A = this chain, B = another copy of it.
Amino acid sequence: MERLMQSLRIGINEKIYVKDPESSDLGKRIVEQSIIMINKMGFESFTFRKLGERIGSNESSIYRYFENKHKLLLYLTSWYWGWMEYKVVFATNGIANKVEKLERALEILTQTVEKDISFSHIDEVKLNEIVINEYSKSYLTKVVDQENKEGYFEIYKRLVQRLSDMIVEVDGEYPYPSSLASSILEGSLHQYFLKEHFPMLTDCDHNITPTQYFMDLVSRTLNIA
Protein backbone atom coordinates (compact mmCIF):
# COMPACT_ATOMS: atom_id res chain seq x y z
CA MET A 1 0.00 0.00 0.00
CA GLU A 2 2.72 2.45 0.96
CA ARG A 3 4.42 2.29 -2.43
CA LEU A 4 1.25 2.88 -4.38
CA MET A 5 0.12 5.75 -2.21
CA GLN A 6 3.41 7.55 -2.53
CA SER A 7 2.62 8.42 -6.11
CA LEU A 8 -1.09 8.90 -5.49
CA ARG A 9 -2.63 12.20 -4.57
CA ILE A 10 -5.97 12.84 -2.96
CA GLY A 11 -7.90 14.89 -5.50
CA ILE A 12 -9.60 17.78 -3.75
CA ASN A 13 -12.03 20.25 -5.29
CA GLU A 14 -9.92 23.20 -6.44
CA LYS A 15 -12.45 25.73 -5.26
CA ILE A 16 -11.69 24.80 -1.66
CA TYR A 17 -8.26 26.43 -1.78
CA VAL A 18 -6.90 29.61 -3.33
CA LYS A 19 -3.54 28.04 -4.05
CA ASP A 20 -2.88 24.31 -3.89
CA PRO A 21 -1.06 23.66 -0.61
CA GLU A 22 0.56 20.59 -2.16
CA SER A 23 2.34 22.86 -4.63
CA SER A 24 4.82 24.40 -2.22
CA ASP A 25 6.76 23.84 0.93
CA LEU A 26 4.85 26.59 2.75
CA GLY A 27 1.56 24.99 1.68
CA LYS A 28 2.59 21.65 3.09
CA ARG A 29 3.70 23.25 6.34
CA ILE A 30 0.35 24.99 6.59
CA VAL A 31 -1.44 21.66 6.28
CA GLU A 32 0.96 19.78 8.50
CA GLN A 33 1.01 22.28 11.34
CA SER A 34 -2.67 23.19 11.17
CA ILE A 35 -3.50 19.54 11.83
CA ILE A 36 -1.31 19.55 14.90
CA MET A 37 -2.70 22.85 16.14
CA ILE A 38 -6.40 22.20 15.50
CA ASN A 39 -6.04 18.83 17.14
CA LYS A 40 -4.44 20.36 20.18
CA MET A 41 -6.42 23.56 20.69
CA GLY A 42 -9.70 22.86 18.90
CA PHE A 43 -11.03 24.50 15.77
CA GLU A 44 -12.58 27.51 17.54
CA SER A 45 -9.35 28.64 19.21
CA PHE A 46 -7.26 28.01 16.13
CA THR A 47 -6.44 31.13 14.08
CA PHE A 48 -4.33 31.89 11.03
CA ARG A 49 -2.34 34.36 13.10
CA LYS A 50 -1.33 31.66 15.57
CA LEU A 51 -0.57 29.27 12.73
CA GLY A 52 1.60 31.92 11.11
CA GLU A 53 3.55 32.42 14.31
CA ARG A 54 4.02 28.70 14.70
CA ILE A 55 5.33 28.04 11.22
CA GLY A 56 7.38 31.23 11.26
CA SER A 57 5.40 32.65 8.43
CA ASN A 58 3.05 35.54 7.88
CA GLU A 59 -0.69 35.52 8.43
CA SER A 60 -1.27 37.09 5.03
CA SER A 61 0.77 34.36 3.37
CA ILE A 62 -1.63 31.75 4.73
CA TYR A 63 -4.57 33.66 3.28
CA ARG A 64 -3.01 33.13 -0.12
CA TYR A 65 -3.63 29.41 0.33
CA PHE A 66 -6.98 29.39 2.11
CA GLU A 67 -9.67 32.05 2.18
CA ASN A 68 -10.38 31.31 5.83
CA LYS A 69 -10.13 28.57 8.42
CA HIS A 70 -13.48 27.09 7.43
CA LYS A 71 -12.09 26.37 3.97
CA LEU A 72 -8.99 24.87 5.54
CA LEU A 73 -11.20 22.55 7.59
CA LEU A 74 -13.05 21.57 4.40
CA TYR A 75 -9.69 20.83 2.84
CA LEU A 76 -8.47 18.69 5.72
CA THR A 77 -11.70 16.72 6.04
CA SER A 78 -11.94 16.23 2.28
CA TRP A 79 -8.44 14.90 2.34
CA TYR A 80 -9.37 12.54 5.14
CA TRP A 81 -12.43 11.16 3.37
CA GLY A 82 -10.49 10.87 0.14
CA TRP A 83 -7.86 8.89 1.96
CA MET A 84 -10.54 6.64 3.48
CA GLU A 85 -12.07 6.13 0.07
CA TYR A 86 -8.75 4.98 -1.32
CA LYS A 87 -8.30 2.58 1.54
CA VAL A 88 -11.78 1.13 1.07
CA VAL A 89 -11.53 0.82 -2.70
CA PHE A 90 -8.09 -0.69 -2.49
CA ALA A 91 -8.94 -3.20 0.23
CA THR A 92 -12.24 -4.34 -1.26
CA ASN A 93 -11.14 -4.36 -4.85
CA GLY A 94 -10.58 -8.03 -5.49
CA ILE A 95 -13.22 -9.44 -3.18
CA ALA A 96 -15.86 -11.41 -5.05
CA ASN A 97 -18.00 -12.33 -2.05
CA LYS A 98 -20.40 -9.44 -1.49
CA VAL A 99 -20.77 -9.98 2.23
CA GLU A 100 -17.05 -10.21 2.77
CA LYS A 101 -16.60 -7.08 0.70
CA LEU A 102 -19.07 -5.11 2.80
CA GLU A 103 -17.50 -6.38 5.98
CA ARG A 104 -14.06 -5.33 4.83
CA ALA A 105 -15.34 -1.85 4.01
CA LEU A 106 -17.09 -1.57 7.36
CA GLU A 107 -13.92 -2.55 9.12
CA ILE A 108 -11.89 0.15 7.43
CA LEU A 109 -14.54 2.82 7.90
CA THR A 110 -15.17 2.17 11.57
CA GLN A 111 -11.75 1.16 12.79
CA THR A 112 -9.29 3.29 14.68
CA VAL A 113 -6.91 5.00 12.32
CA GLU A 114 -3.31 3.95 12.40
CA LYS A 115 -0.29 5.88 11.31
CA ASP A 116 0.18 5.86 7.55
CA ILE A 117 3.65 6.78 6.50
CA SER A 118 2.65 7.35 2.89
CA PHE A 119 1.79 11.02 3.16
CA SER A 120 4.75 12.33 5.01
CA HIS A 121 3.45 15.72 6.13
CA ILE A 122 0.01 14.51 7.24
CA ASP A 123 -0.53 12.86 10.60
CA GLU A 124 -3.53 10.65 9.89
CA VAL A 125 -4.07 9.72 13.53
CA LYS A 126 -4.44 13.37 14.53
CA LEU A 127 -6.49 14.07 11.43
CA ASN A 128 -8.89 11.29 12.39
CA GLU A 129 -9.29 12.92 15.80
CA ILE A 130 -10.00 16.23 14.11
CA VAL A 131 -12.66 14.57 11.96
CA ILE A 132 -14.28 13.05 15.06
CA ASN A 133 -14.31 16.39 16.88
CA GLU A 134 -14.84 18.90 14.09
CA TYR A 135 -16.29 17.33 10.95
CA SER A 136 -19.90 18.24 11.75
CA LYS A 137 -18.91 21.89 12.00
CA SER A 138 -17.85 21.86 8.35
CA TYR A 139 -21.40 21.27 7.15
CA LEU A 140 -23.57 22.56 10.02
CA THR A 141 -23.45 26.06 8.56
CA LYS A 142 -25.78 28.47 6.83
CA VAL A 143 -23.80 28.13 3.60
CA VAL A 144 -24.04 24.35 3.35
CA ASP A 145 -26.37 24.32 0.36
CA GLN A 146 -24.23 26.66 -1.67
CA GLU A 147 -21.03 24.85 -0.75
CA ASN A 148 -22.64 21.55 -1.53
CA LYS A 149 -23.65 22.89 -4.93
CA GLU A 150 -20.04 23.88 -5.51
CA GLY A 151 -19.01 20.31 -4.85
CA TYR A 152 -17.18 20.74 -1.53
CA PHE A 153 -18.61 17.53 -0.11
CA GLU A 154 -18.29 15.33 -3.20
CA ILE A 155 -15.76 12.93 -1.73
CA TYR A 156 -17.81 12.24 1.39
CA LYS A 157 -20.97 11.80 -0.65
CA ARG A 158 -19.20 9.40 -2.99
CA LEU A 159 -18.00 7.37 -0.02
CA VAL A 160 -21.49 7.10 1.47
CA GLN A 161 -22.73 6.08 -1.98
CA ARG A 162 -20.09 3.36 -2.26
CA LEU A 163 -21.08 1.95 1.11
CA SER A 164 -24.74 2.16 0.18
CA ASP A 165 -24.01 0.26 -3.05
CA MET A 166 -22.28 -2.50 -1.12
CA ILE A 167 -25.31 -2.74 1.17
CA VAL A 168 -27.59 -3.08 -1.85
CA GLU A 169 -25.34 -5.79 -3.26
CA VAL A 170 -25.72 -7.79 -0.08
CA ASP A 171 -29.44 -7.25 0.37
CA GLY A 172 -31.27 -5.73 -2.56
CA GLU A 173 -34.52 -5.83 -0.62
CA TYR A 174 -33.37 -3.62 2.22
CA PRO A 175 -35.32 -0.36 1.89
CA TYR A 176 -32.92 2.12 3.52
CA PRO A 177 -29.39 1.54 2.17
CA SER A 178 -28.43 5.23 1.95
CA SER A 179 -29.70 6.03 5.43
CA LEU A 180 -27.89 3.01 6.83
CA ALA A 181 -24.67 3.99 5.07
CA SER A 182 -24.79 7.60 6.27
CA SER A 183 -25.72 6.42 9.77
CA ILE A 184 -22.69 4.18 9.87
CA LEU A 185 -20.22 6.85 8.79
CA GLU A 186 -21.59 9.58 11.02
CA GLY A 187 -22.40 7.14 13.81
CA SER A 188 -18.91 5.74 13.88
CA LEU A 189 -17.41 9.16 14.51
CA HIS A 190 -20.06 9.69 17.18
CA GLN A 191 -19.36 6.42 18.98
CA TYR A 192 -15.66 7.27 19.15
CA PHE A 193 -16.55 10.64 20.60
CA LEU A 194 -18.86 9.10 23.20
CA LYS A 195 -16.30 6.49 24.12
CA GLU A 196 -13.91 9.31 24.96
CA HIS A 197 -16.26 11.79 26.64
CA PHE A 198 -19.57 10.13 27.48
CA PRO A 199 -18.74 6.47 28.20
CA MET A 200 -22.18 5.95 29.74
CA LEU A 201 -23.81 6.60 26.39
CA THR A 202 -22.04 3.85 24.53
CA ASP A 203 -21.14 0.21 24.99
CA CYS A 204 -17.84 0.76 23.25
CA ASP A 205 -14.81 0.67 25.50
CA HIS A 206 -11.40 -0.94 25.56
CA ASN A 207 -13.03 -4.32 25.01
CA ILE A 208 -15.78 -3.52 22.56
CA THR A 209 -14.97 -1.52 19.44
CA PRO A 210 -17.30 0.61 17.33
CA THR A 211 -16.45 -1.82 14.53
CA GLN A 212 -17.96 -4.72 16.47
CA TYR A 213 -21.10 -2.70 17.18
CA PHE A 214 -21.60 -1.71 13.55
CA MET A 215 -20.71 -5.13 12.16
CA ASP A 216 -23.29 -6.66 14.44
CA LEU A 217 -25.85 -3.99 13.59
CA VAL A 218 -25.43 -4.55 9.86
CA SER A 219 -25.54 -8.31 10.16
CA ARG A 220 -28.78 -8.10 12.12
CA THR A 221 -30.28 -5.55 9.78
CA LEU A 222 -29.55 -7.09 6.40
CA ASN A 223 -30.84 -10.38 5.14
CA ILE A 224 -27.58 -11.90 4.18
CA ALA A 225 -28.16 -14.31 1.32
Instruction: Write the residues of chain A forming the contact surface with B, with a CB cutoff of 8 angstroms.
Output: 41-42, 44-45, 133-134, 136-137, 139-142, 144-145, 148, 153, 157, 160-161, 175-183, 186-187, 190-191, 193-194, 197-198, 200-204, 208, 210, 213, 216-217, 220-221
Contact = CB atoms under 8 A, between A and B. Distances in A.
A182 B178 contact: no
Nearest to A220: B221
A56 to B, nearest CB: 25
Given A136-B140, A137-B140, A142-B42, A157 B198 contact: yes
Given A45-B142, A140-B137, A201 B213 contact: no
B197 A179 contact: no
A183 B148 CA distance: 25
B200 A191 contact: no
A200 B182 CA distance: 10
13 contacts: A42-B141, A134-B140, A140-B193, A148-B197, A148-B198, A161-B200, A175-B208, A176-B203, A176-B217, A178-B201, A179-B203, A182-B194, A182-B202
Interface centre among A41, A133, A182 (most CB of B within 10 A): A182
A201 B81 CA distance: 15
A40 to B, nearest CB: 9
A225 to B, nearest CB: 15
Contacts of A216: 175-176
Contacts of A141: 42, 44
A194 to B, nearest CB: 6
